[in-house]
Amino acid sequence: MAVTMVIGNIPNITSNLFSAGATLSSLIANEFGEASGVYQSAVIEIGLILFFVALSVNVLARLLLWRMTRGTRVRA
């Protein structure tokens, strides 16, 4: 949400970090109000993508943690 206020919310991909863009969350926050029908489904699918992104980051972090703690246990 904090990002939504400052990112500019323009649907484009640029290599310039200082130009306006959008994030998954900001897109949902901005588009959801006016959405209906298929458009609404599309916005909810962005939510699904965001869900998978968050889930995979979480699982990766968990795996990393798991491997690190297992390593220490083997050494000890």
Partner 1 sequence: MMKQSNLPTSISLWRKIVNKFMTILVLIAVGLAVIPLFLILGDVFVKGAPALSLGFLTHLPTPPNVPGGGIANAIVGTFTMVGIASLISVPIGVAAGIFFSEWSSSKLSTVSSFMNDVLTGFPSIVLGLFVFVVIVSTTKQFSAFAGGVALSFVMLPIIARTTSESLKLVPNTLREASMALGIPRWKTVIRIVISTGKNGLLTGILLAVARATGETAPILITASTSIYFAKSIFQPTASLTVLIYNYATSASASWQTQAWGAALVLILIMPALNLLVKLTVGRNLAGKRLEM
Distance CA 3, CA 13 (A): 16
Among 8, 14, 39, 51, binds partner 1 (CB under 8 A): 51
Tokens of 2: 């904090």
User: Which residue, 21 or 47, is less far from partner 1 as judged by CB?
Assistant: 47
Residue 43: which residues within 8 A CB-CB, separation 6 or more? 27, 28, 31, 32, 35
Among 10, 20, 42, 54, binds partner 1 (CB under 8 A): 54
The residues that touch partner 1, with contacts defined as CB under 8 A, are 1, 4-5, 24-25, 28-29, 32, 43-44, 47, 50-51, 54-55, 57-59, 62
